[in-house]
Amino acid sequence: MSYFLTEEQEMLKELCAQIAREKILPVRAEYDETGEFPWDIVKVMAASDIYGVYIPEEYGGFGGGVMEMCIAAEELSRVCGGIALAFAASALGAYPILLFGSDEQKKEYLPAIAAGERLAAFGLTEANAGSDAGAVETRAQLDGDEYVLNGTKQWITNGGEAEIYTVVVRTSKGTGIRGMSCLIVEKDTPGFTFGKKEDKMGIRGSTTRELVFQDCRVPKKNLLGREGTGFVLAMRTFDKSRPGVAAQAVGIAQGAFDEAAKYARHREQFGKPIGSFQGIQFMLADMAIQIEAARALVYHSARVVDSGAKDIGKLSAMAKVFASDVAMKVTTDAVQILGGYGYMREYPVEKMMRDAKITQIYEGTNQIQRSIIASAVLKESAAKEKKA
């Protein structure tokens, strides 16, 4: 089926599908079981130039954008949503540099990210700063030409594995979201260590850890943008990255659907394949409809973001909400179609259901996304009324 992809995008889609099929599929159950980080797959993706698909050519990338990032994330996630995060989470960590970095900062960090030589990660969430992103408490006090960081970040994807971290910190007390800034922190910086590695329900092929800062000194030149723009930076980063989460969700849903359709063709009950029964047929039809609708919204949102449009928050949120809700519904139905087999780890759909759940939670829960959407809708309505 054509989705009006360019020749280069079709090639990227086929390449990622091949990597997923040949390299990820044989090991996904092992990584899900052990929770280890998939460095062997990272090396394959790096050798195939996957990490640079959304990075400009002048910084060693492919020159694509959010659309290319979504294509890669979807195809990799179709086989394993967890392992795919080794790519997608690095993009999340790189976007603050792409959006707010100086030319010097971009030249210093983006080529290594594009080559897959150094992974990136984004550090925003804390114990008391989840949905309330403005509640960040990690402090960065300017001391001469250095910021001194103290605090802890929680649930950071690629934590401990990435070498480049874009970290949102508080540089001013008592000024709310205007007191937040963002710094680039390298892994080997003294005073920067890692806390516990989380034991997760899903996406277990991805590492999630705490970032711990104890009198960690970071050069002032590592400040992204200006002081006080950290909250804006985080929100603009999410506007760019949320279609990627949505693409991950679509990929997981498609993978589960493929397994369910195959099972329905081969599994026989009452002397017939269960796919011949109307109840199963209607489930498969609804799953297919939902996936296609989600993919269309994801691709549309990615193209709008890449067009340079300014007001993209609502559309990015819509794509994230719809696709992740679809992923949860489709994977749950896939388990139902496989019945008792679907509940067993020998079959991949139970893993896909576990992997799907996080897409409704991270990078802004779907409840927060609905608040963003509603706020934009009401604002647009007021603007239309004023013009009338």
Q: What secondary structure does DSSP assign to 301-364, as a single string?
A: HHHHHHTT-S--HHHHHHHHHHHHHHHHHHHHHHHHHHTTGGGSTTSTHHHHHHHHHGGGTSSS
Structure tokens at 282: 């209607």
Placement of tokens 């696709």 in the chain:
323
Nearest to 337 by CA among 223, 253, 224, 260: 260
Q: What tokens does 104 get?
A: 């010097």
Estimate to the nearest angstrom the gap between the alpha carbon of 227 and the chain centroid: 26
The whole-angstrom separation of Cα 153 and Cα 141 is 17
The distance in angstroms from the start CA to the end CA of the chain is 42
Which one from 7, 198, 363, 380 is the annotated catalytic residue? 363
363 is a catalytic site residue: yes
Count CB neighbours of 278 within 10 A.
7
Any idea what DSSP says for residue 168?
E
- What are 164's two structure tokens? 């480049």
Active site residues: 363
